[in-house]
Structure 1
């Protein structure tokens, strides 16, 4: 069959069917609209009855009409045969869009002007994409590699924009400085805002996890575009909503392409007498379609027409393709692809749609192919139209977004969502295979100290290095996930016995043991591991993870850098801790925490020089609860900040009421030093109670100096500047370093009662006491011996020069109202 006859009625029908996003209409020689298709109605908003007979300048702004822009376009088309330009055009509703306009002069066979053919295309987004493509690719990197038309940004739970990427700026026209902090509803039309559409989108995403819709959105310049919008709810590890991720894509062209082609066909059929005029600009319509278009003869297989997009995608000019079979002019793989699509379309008859990857001169691309037939009678197709849309970027963006939703951004490991899915899969498989599943919870020992000392950026590099080591220890079928911070979890599938989990846990501890070298820092860390086994311990995914976490807690409690299996008694202990935590919260609210005071004796005067304030919990059911039974829990849960503040305020208030010069000593937990407001809390306690600062003594343990020592020593100096005294408690029992005594001027050193108990029978204990008192005397630091219970101990301590004493020999801790009896 010969190359396509562009004057064929059937060919016009096919080509017009293919136009999907153009406004096409005819003008009289004076510029009056003489016909109007549905595509023009969609693009400009006017129905045919409203616009036919009107002058086409109605689509221009008042300023352009006053400047004569419409008439100059017609005059140029008269003079040269064509006028082509870009500029703002108006719709019926007053909104504007950036248009690419072609006006072709239409003449009869004698060359007399009989009118104009006008085609208009909305190319706002295309222009924006071209201008910002390079910046978009640089900014998105892994997120949207190669994706050119997505706006991605975050909203807070109320819908305010929190960040703004280059793609969003390109799509909507706002810079980050203009839009961050604004409510996202400003992208909606006034009508949509008045009906509450933006808020309903957030509510749906909050309730169901995702809101997805298509609709009209606005740019900064007021122009509108048709958008595909996805709003995903973003939650933290506890499931609490922390915001929304919003993805917007301009789909104006995609929605209009095929429909415009069909409308162009209807236009050609309705105005068959104008076909000779339309043929002069149909080529330009086809050339502007952003998809590859091939028309074939279904009988001979010859290519009858190919547009410029097809030339670029398939690597062959239209001139070389027309009149040839695909196998004669195209690469074998491309020819085979066209043959397969055509055959499938002919068999389907009613239309055919398929996605397929194809190696092209542009690289490996994914094509979404549509095949339509033009019926020629006798149940035979006259033409086969194949439209191939390159959706590689679109699919890559969806794949990347899916990956981000299931993986940790820092380490690339599975996140909590993917971990839960893999654990459910493993449990289902275990039920069929009758195998075991291991769940391991891992925690890096003392990671917070590393973060505090070297910074979060350093900590992040350590976590990435740790993830690499851990992953290299596991099988391909196992899943390693980062749940948050330095918390990791592992699913071990298809275990034959619990000992397999035992061996894996030990390998993990061993692989972490060698020193890490990061930024010229070499250091070693430990790993604590908790293990739970299904179905032995439980068959529920949530319970297994909880049990493994309880076992991890036990491993850390038993010294760290080890692993522990879940045992039923751990669950019972956890329940007791939870009950005690709730009771402790109630105790704080109801004032069940009170202070008892133990006297401190001054050797020189033999009188009470002050008291140590010791917290007691008067539990309504369990009676008196001692600090050793609830302070560790308070430190673990963070309640120590409230407990410590109550102790400080109560001690200052009660001491201020004594009307003596006696001091009051209050213990500070190492955890309290993590609170940057500690100095302010102490200052307020002094101010509210009117207690003289010199009468307040704050006791710390050596662990405060080991944990972020530089920062904590600075805090101690700020506390000392308030005028209070600082005592070093339990001296000699931990990691005592004389350098701390040089770094900070302590007012008192308290000798631990373990040395006092042993010094009568132990020369070593006596030597330690003698060394501490001698050193303190040289440094002019007061010493207090704790736990003095006998006269013999008292006399020996006096002989060693100890300046103050405390213990049952002088009095037990008593409530404030019984203090005077001592």
Structure 2
């Protein structure tokens, strides 16, 4: 349809030129023929051969000339048409590659252009459109296909022509923004843009905002926030409304002097300045305020909230009426500290996850180590968005198991952090809604890497010699018991060797105990090399034990021979040549 309009009028100038040229060529030839006819003799019985040949040659020349003109006209038309087709193809390609659907109509509302994106949005094809189809017929086609929504033709054009346009909901959940523009020539252009992702983000933002407002509204303490620049309130929760008797709509946009009595306003402003001037951006105090002529004592904490440039931007204030509970000041202070520390300062990572879609709703500052990102960036994401596929699969499986159990699950597992692979003790607890269905999953992660390493070292020390790092007597007896149980009733054989180091006392007396300890370390290494996988343990000061399997006593005697030769070789310790011997017994 678009090509038809773009081609009209392109061949008219060339056709005019061709007619003029043809007329100019035929006129002289016809004049020549007429002149010949007048000059011809009255008798036609005899003709001069020269005249015949001249007429024939003239005719051939005229025909050739006319054929050349025709070929030239045909070639010009073909070049013009190719140029027009290339131009049309370029424009069509540009329009078809837009991310918006585009429909153009003329003054009679006939569709003169429709790009591919429009057809793709509504599941149509070129075969669904016909020549001289108008806009109302196209809307009727979409209505039959179920991709128009419940609007009439008039409502469609009226709302689409408004500044905000018209949003239609498709059966598959997509949202299409339509804008309609009337052109000066009476025609029109309509654009169709898929805004599903934008609407999804807007709904997520609204859901997050509603969640945070719900949390703050259910906090028993009075919570409010104000701009540091002008001191005007920008937020107040339900407890704040109940305490002062003001609605939040009345509070927002006003400062303290516009809301409270002069004495209370002055105290509030002084407390605000103290918080802004505090080194850590926090200030706690207790002061009296005038509430409708009644003096009330409040305990307050003010926190300076900084922006991404680390500059103070907002002042968050939390206070409670402690007039009737002065005797419980210690418990109140403990509760206030809990409220203050619950978000950022608890010693474990805290993450709150929504069960229905697995998205993170809340994360404290300690959780940033696990998430490898700021907690604000993690809100709204899932485990698949944050962790690599292998880790995400394991985390999701553990979450589903906890949700299915609807109780507390405790386990230890490694998690990749910016400090490397760390071992965490994870507790998962499911929170049920009023209907008894899982709604939230609360997860705490405690880094127990150092603790487990310490426990591992202690366990190693309990079963290993501190000097040679060989298994000690307890480990040797445990290994011996296991070997006896393994070989019992199987016909397998093993041998136990006891090696007593000779000459250690003389080495200690001559060179000192420090060199004697180094000698024990060297002996332990040679015994391990000779044992070739057998159990080697240090039983006491100069006594070692070995366990070796195999055909006995051959394997045991062979090992005893190797041990004697290994220990008999000279030791080089601190530049000194030291010799020792070994006495070996075998069972």
TM-score tier after normalising by the smaller chain length: 0.3 to 0.5
The two structures have a TM-score, normalised by structure 1, of 0.33
User: Which protein has the larger Cα radius of gyration, Structure 1 or Structure 2?
Assistant: 2
TM-score, with structure 2 as normaliser: 0.46
